[in-house]
Structure 1
């Protein structure tokens, strides 16, 4: 087995263990698609390197009966990991231990899209503050990962797409962050990080085929197929926000008209809510304001707002119905700011999928709101940093 192929095999095994916990060899084979012989060889090598241990599972004592299975477990390295979540208008840095428990986090508001160097510098500063709050030093960091709100060319790690994060074009975020921290940094698209977060810590912990939808200022999908993140040939799979909607004419930042994100985004939904809520709640205090907007979860309890949110879900569901037909996922998890609306949004998505997807595929998929809400991307970065820590 070549060294690069061996490395990929080891990464698949470590990722499966990080996401699912202790596993038998047979379970590892099923989850990774690797042969029993490949699993056996890799487990031996990783155990020799001190990364894995084989342990006996199940209860012990007089009441235990039969032969208990042997499971493969990660040996957690001492130290902490650093996770960074770049949003379009915020940055969050968090410190966690190598089991995934958050120890401290710091956030700042910033126009990330138009100020890449300042965003990277701010992330470095926030990481230092979070480290201090957690009572650790930079020398104790064993893994770092970050999510960015745009497509990243996985072949070069450079931001290429000219229509999203325009000021980041030609920038290599992993290289820039690595230079600042003096350590390797794993960087991925934020929707992919969100899917990783849900798979490891959230609503998809027992699901290996699902779509994570980050619905905020833009709309992106993290595709997890067969237990692995699917990024496409160059890393930009899942950009569903630029799917054209028939009859829609709004101008999109990509230069086209009628893209999904021009109709369904947190910006558009809040704009529509501003029209319907004053009629229902005429006092200025009850109206959403730019300075202090009420959460969508609170607004969704009001009938007029729930109708707006459900309509947004129906429109989003039109696009997702095609993905359900193509990919036959077991679940769709709705995240991002819009995902906080919960059931009214999920209800609209479900209606469109039931109507436009093939009946067998529609029946097979569950629609649910993220259990991590707006922390999916941050926790996905935590999970990625833990895997990086295990790989060393």
Structure 2
């Protein structure tokens, strides 16, 4: 016989569910909470009041903007409060590691990055990241006991069943490793792990160009190309965690050999590596802004043309993906994304040409607002959300 769930367990589950939605939506009304979660209005009202009393969430009337205009006073938006304690976010890119110590509300207290051959030197990259964590803790006057959650992103598909990296074509030095376990052993604390494109989507959703979006695609276009998919307000990873690997979409039978073993993959003709190589040949200096390093490249007549064509090629692949998923937004991130509007214009042109008219008409293409910090801030946000849910 199935026994009824204890009321205390139901309340805890409702509390966790509401906290997760409030954190994810970054501003939501009580009525919307009831619609999203399926909980009754009375259950939402009771739990929300408890969370307000504990100062885990707050009401923001000003952020409600025009909501409810013409229908009396606008409903206040519920937003996550900072809470107490600190979190750590770690971003492993192919050529560097970035670490941040932040408040559980996402406010950055210290940030540092270092050049590392992440792809082939796993142990070195892991050790460097741990050294940076301890250094930042010292600089910010934070102890490890103050850290409530740690999250990290890696530029490779993670097998969701084992938490290990199995792809022999990406992060060759990490094959068979469980990055969460490796970091946990070094830091002495549990670590959440995620794919970098997925965390880039989280970052832009929480802090950047995707605020308020529920169905969107975040494209990380750097040395390789991957996509973070958010469908119905939730991240979609696929059966094993490999969803969004659009860089290995084949454009034809011919072309350059790809690291995956096929010819003519998208990332063999569209990547930041190719743009940087062209910049070197033309004597164009790399931009001084480390967050948007290719902004100047887009202004040069030759590299600008190359970036626009790269956008059209990328857009051709994204058009097919949009026909399948019907998102409302595409956010272009990664190093190539920092080239800005020339890339976005090329993507828009191909989507308008190849996506179904109704799909293209309802779709917006934006350049990421966070540049190369999207994945790091996504890790910080994931850690903050986990810390909040653990209260």
Q: Is the 8 A contact 2:258 2:268 kept in 1?
A: yes
Q: Which of residues 40, 50, 54 is equivalent to 1:37?
A: 40
Contact 1:197 1:380 in 2 (8 A): yes
Is the Cα contact below 8 Å between 1:79 and 1:142 reproduced in 2? yes
Partner Cα distance (1:87, 1:42) in 2: 43
Query: Which residue is equivalent to 1:24?
Result: 29
In the TM superposition, residue 16 of structure 1 has moved relative to its aligned partner by: 2.4
CA deviations over 1:193-250 (Å, ceiling 9, x no partner): 0000000000011211111100000100000111111111111100001110125421
1:337–1:98 CA distance, 2 compared to 1 (3 A): same
Give 1:180 shift: 1.8
Corresponding residue number in structure 1 for 2:156: 150
Given candidates 383, 386, 389, the residue that maps to 1:388 is 386
Decide which moves more: 19-28 or 242-251: 19-28
Task: Give 1:269 shift.
Answer: 2.5
Structure-2 residue corresponding to 1:324: 322
* Counterpart mapping for 1:290-309 below 5 A: 295-309=293-307
> Once structures 1 and 2 are overlaid, which stretch shifts more, 206-215 or 266-275?
266-275
Q: Distance in 2 between matches of 1:271 and 1:81?
A: 37
Q: Distance in 2 between matches of 1:234 and 1:360?
A: 31
What is the aligned partner in structure 2 of residue 265 from structure 1?
271
RMSD: 3.2
SS at match of 2:113: strand
Name 1:240's counterpart in structure 2.
246
> TM-score, with normalisation over the residues of structure 1?
0.86
**Pairing partner for 1:356 from 354, 357, 372:** 354
Is the Cα–Cα contact under 8 Å of residues 57 and 69 in structure 1 kept in the other structure?
no
Report the Cα distance in structure 2 between the residues aligned to 1:209 and 1:308, rounded to whole angstroms: 30
Asked if structure 2 preserves the Cα contact closer than 8 Å seen for 1:152 and 1:159, the reply is yes
TM-superposed CA distance for 1:11, in Å, is 5.3
* Matching residue of 1:282: none
- C-alpha distance after superposition, 1:304-328 (max 9, x if no partner): 2211110111111111001111111
Matches within 5 A, 1:6-85: 12-30=17-35, 33-37=36-40, 40=43, 44=47, 47=50, 58=61, 69=75, 72-85=78-91
Q: What is the Cα deviation at residue 130 of structure 1? A: 1.4
Does residue 87 (structure 1) correspond to residue 93 (structure 2)? The answer is yes
The alpha-carbon distance between structure 1 residues 112 and 56, as it changes in their structure 2 partners (threshold 3 A), is closer
Q: Secondary structure at the match of 1:297?
A: coil
Out of 381-390 and 110-119, give the one that drifted further. 110-119
Cα distance, 1:120 vs. partner? 1.2
Please report how far the alpha carbon of residue 335 of structure 1 lies from its aligned counterpart in structure 2 after TM superposition. Answer: 0.5
User: Which segments of 5 or more consecutive residues in structure 1 lack a partner in the other structure?
Assistant: 60-64, 278-285
Q: Which moved more, 1:311-320 or 1:150-159?
A: 150-159
Say whether 1:346 aligns with 2:352: no
- TM-score normalised by length of structure 2: 0.87
The 1:172–1:288 alpha-carbon spacing in structure 2 relative to 1, beyond 3 Å, is: same
